[in-house]
């Protein structure tokens, strides 16, 4: 058998990594500001959030479903956190725990309704998106919480590593490692993947699929809430509109990262680091396009073209590696 090509090279992650490096080179040479400290710091914050949002979507895509309520859920959790800190005076650490629990709870609702009613998660989360967001607006009357403890908001603008990197990025990368560990090296992670890949077979093999699906939704809620906290720290306030109307602004990065990262939309496959690289790639391109000055009105156009190019290249890479692994 032919094993000249190392396994890592065959993966989607490798293709992404190459693309990321290529774009870093292009942008560093063709623009002034790209490698400036300010820009890299700014990038690190944006990437941090996009990774977290992407992961939150990824764990539901794992089940073959989608979580449209992601943004609404994240904002609701963030607003809950703002309320805890500002109105209730609850200390930061406890607030964070409460918010993560709250996010998991909203995720549990998504999962429970999906599993128990048999209605597809696409529709369930379409509805809960409206419901969560509606309740959030109703309860907060669209008022922001902006008198947050300074220790908390300062964390969002803290600069590490010679002022190049935001601590938020470290949280996201750590989360990636934890998730990678869970999916690769634990019983529960394997069961989540198996349940997502073929629910019937998994069920008959003694896995409680319903429970696994609910776990995935809870994990999604947890990660979305974490993203909500991170965004709150970054903008220094909990704001109802921080993910746009109905939390929609989060949906595109949420899809882009895992999808570029090679997560299978039909479920049963996760690529934690692929999602991370996907988020990095999108952020890089977006930032680079602004710097290159294609004219902001055309940014989306070029972003689309590059995305298309990236997935086509990846397909070409796959084709090439498969062809080379054929025995002759």
Partner 1 sequence: MSALLKKDWFGLGLVLIFGSILISLFKPAFISPFNLYVLMLSVSLMLVVAMSQMIIIAIGQMNLSVGAIGGLVAISFTGLMEVYSMSILPAVLIGLLIGLACGFINGYITVKTGISAFIITLATLYIFKGMNLGITEAQPFYEIPEAVKFFGNAKIFGPIPYLVIIPIIITVLMWILMNRTSLGRYMLAYGNNVQSSELIGISSTKIVIYAHVISGLLAAIGGMLVVCRLQLGTPNIGDSWLLPSFAAPVIGGAILAGGKVDVIATAFGVILVSIISQALVIFKIDPFFVQIFLGFMILLAVFINRYREYREERRTKVFSDE
Partner 2 sequence: GHGVTKVALVPGGPHPYFAAWEQAGLDAVEDFGLGKADYRVPAEWDLSQQNELIESLVGQGYNAVLVFPGDAVGTNKILGELDDAGIPTAALAGCVEQPTQAKFCFGTDTGHSAYLGTKELIKALGGKGKIAHFTGFLVDPNTTLRINAVEQAVSEAGGGVEIIQVIADIDAYEPADEKINAFMAAQGSEVDGIVTTAWVPAVVAAQALTNMGDKRIKMVGIDHDEVVLKAIKDGYVHGTMLQNPYGQGYIGSYVMDKVRQGCEFKADAPWKSTAQTDQFIDSGTVFVDISDVDTYVMAMRGISLEILETFDSTYLNCPS
Partner 3 sequence: MSDYILELSNITKNFPGVKALDNANFKLKKKSIHALLGENGAGKSTLIKIITGVYNQNEGKLFLNNQEKSFSSPNEAMNAGISVVHQERNLIRRFSVGENLMLTNLPKNNLGLIDYNTVAKESKKWLDIMELDIDPNTIVSDLTVAKMQLCEIAKALSLESKILLLDEPTSSLSPQDTKNLFALLKRLVAEQDVSIVFVSHKLEEVFEICDEVTVLRDGKNACESEQITNLNRQKLVKLMIGRDEQIIKSKKNIDFTDESLLDLQSINTDLGHKNINLNLKKGEILGLYGLVGAGRTELIKCVLGLDKINSGQILLNNKEIKIKSPKDALEKYKIGYISEDRKKEGLILMHDVLSNAGITVWSNLKKILSFLNDSIVYNKVDPYVKQLEVKTPSYQQIVSNLSGGNQQKISVAKWLASGTDILFIDEPTVGIDIKTKSYLHELIIELSLKGTSIILITSDMPEMISLADRIITMKDFKVVGETINNHNYEEMSSSIMGNIHE
- List 65, 71, 82, 247, residue binding partner 1 (CB under 8 A): 65
188 makes contact with partner 3 (CB under 8 A): yes
Please choose which of partner 1, partner 3, partner 2, none residue 119 contacts, taking the beta carbon within 5 to 8 angstroms, the exact cut-off set by kind: partner 1
Contact segment (CB under 8 A) with partner 1 among 29-37, 156-164, 227-235, 256-264 equals 256-264
- List 202, 237, 259, 270, residue binding partner 3 (CB under 8 A): 202
Please choose which of partner 1, partner 2, partner 3, none residue 124 contacts, taking the beta carbon within 5 to 8 angstroms, the exact cut-off set by kind: partner 1
269 makes contact with partner 3 (CB under 8 A): yes
Q: Which residues of 122-152 are buried (b: 16+ CB within 10 A; e: fewer)?
A: eebbbebbeebbeebbeebeeebbeebeeeb
- List 30, 36, 87, 186, residue binding partner 3 (CB under 8 A): 186
Q: d(Cα 160, Cα 140) in Å, to the nearest integer?
A: 34
Q: Is there a contact between 265 and 108 (Cβ–Cβ < 8 Å)?
A: no
Q: d(Cα 36, Cα 38) in Å, to the nearest integer?
A: 5
Please choose which of partner 3, partner 1, partner 2, none residue 163 contacts, taking the beta carbon within 5 to 8 angstroms, the exact cut-off set by kind: none
- List 25, 88, 97, 204, residue binding partner 3 (CB under 8 A): 204
64 makes contact with partner 1 (CB under 8 A): yes
Residue keyed to tokens 């794992």: 62
4 makes contact with partner 3 (CB under 8 A): no
Q: Is there a contact between 109 and 128 (Cβ–Cβ < 8 Å)?
A: yes
208 makes contact with partner 3 (CB under 8 A): yes
185 makes contact with partner 3 (CB under 8 A): yes
Q: Is there a contact between 78 and 238 (Cβ–Cβ < 8 Å)?
A: yes
**Apex 176 CA angle, 170 and 179, nearest 5:** 140
Other beta carbons within 10 Å of 38: 10
Q: d(Cα 216, Cα 199) in Å, to the nearest integer?
A: 13
Q: d(Cα 53, Cα 252) in Å, to the nearest integer?
A: 10
Start-to-end Cα distance in the chain: 9
303 makes contact with partner 1 (CB under 8 A): yes
Q: d(Cα 306, Cα 300) in Å, to the nearest integer?
A: 10
- List 142, 160, 201, 305, residue binding partner 3 (CB under 8 A): 201
Q: Give 194 or 277: the residue with its C-beta nearer to partner 3.
A: 194
305 makes contact with partner 1 (CB under 8 A): yes
Q: Which residues contact 283 (CB under 8 A, 6 or more apart)?
A: 43, 46, 47, 50
206 makes contact with partner 3 (CB under 8 A): yes
Contact segment (CB under 8 A) with partner 3 among 109-117, 225-233, 272-280, 320-328 equals 320-328
Kindly state the smallest distance separating residue 85's Cβ from partner 1, in Å.
Answer: 24
Please choose which of partner 1, partner 2, partner 3, none residue 326 contacts, taking the beta carbon within 5 to 8 angstroms, the exact cut-off set by kind: partner 3
CB pairs under 8 A, 24+ apart, for 198-203? Answer: 198/268
Contact segment (CB under 8 A) with partner 3 among 77-85, 199-207, 238-246, 274-282 equals 199-207
Q: d(Cα 85, Cα 55) in Å, to the nearest integer?
A: 26
**Binding residues vs partner 3 (CB under 8 A):** 1, 184-191, 193-194, 197-198, 200-208, 264, 268-269, 322, 325-328
**Binding residues vs partner 1 (CB under 8 A):** 64-66, 68, 113, 117-124, 126-131, 133-135, 137-138, 141, 199-200, 209, 246, 252, 255-256, 259, 264-267, 295, 297-305, 307-308, 311-312, 315
């Amino acid at each position: 058998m032919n094993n000249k090509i190392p396994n890592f090279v065959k993966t989607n992650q490798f293709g992404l990594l190459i693309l990321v490096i290529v774009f870093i080179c292009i942008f560093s040479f063709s623009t002034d500001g790209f490698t400036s400290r300010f820009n890299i710091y700014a990038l690190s914050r944006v990437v941090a959030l996009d990774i977290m949002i992407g992961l939150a979507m990824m764990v539901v895509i794992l089940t073959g479903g989608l979580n449209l309520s992601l943004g609404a859920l994240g904002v609701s959790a963030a607003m809950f956190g703002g309320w805890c800190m500002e109105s209730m005076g609850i200390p930061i650490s406890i607030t964070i725990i409460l918010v993560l629990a709250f996010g998991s709870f909203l995720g549990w609702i998504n999962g429970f309704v999906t599993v128990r009613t048999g209605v597809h998660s696409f529709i369930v989360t379409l509805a809960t998106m409206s419901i969560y967001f509606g309740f959030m607006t109703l309860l907060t009357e669209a008022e922001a919480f902006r008198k947050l403890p300074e220790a908390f908001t300062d964390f969002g603008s803290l600069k590490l590593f010679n002022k190049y990197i935001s601590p938020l990025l470290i949280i996201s990368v750590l989360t990636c490692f934890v998730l990678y560990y869970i999916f690769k090296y634990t019983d529960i992670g394997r069961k989540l993947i198996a349940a997502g890949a073929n629910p019937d077979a998994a069920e008959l093999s003694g896995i409680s699929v319903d429970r696994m699906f609910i776990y995935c939704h809870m994990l999604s809620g947890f990660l979305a809430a974490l993203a909500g906290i991170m965004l709150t720290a970054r903008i220094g306030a909990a704001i109802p509109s921080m993910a746009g109307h109905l939390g929609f602004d989060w949906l595109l990065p949420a899809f882009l990262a895992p999808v570029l990262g090679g997560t299978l939309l039909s479920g049963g496959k996760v690529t934690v680091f692929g999602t991370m690289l996907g988020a990095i790639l999108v952020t890089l391109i977006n930032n680079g396009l602004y710097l290159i000055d294609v004219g902001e009105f055309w940014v989306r156009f070029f972003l689309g073209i590059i995305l298309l190019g990236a997935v086509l290249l990846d397909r070409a890479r796959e084709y090439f590696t498969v062809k080379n692994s054929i025995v002759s």
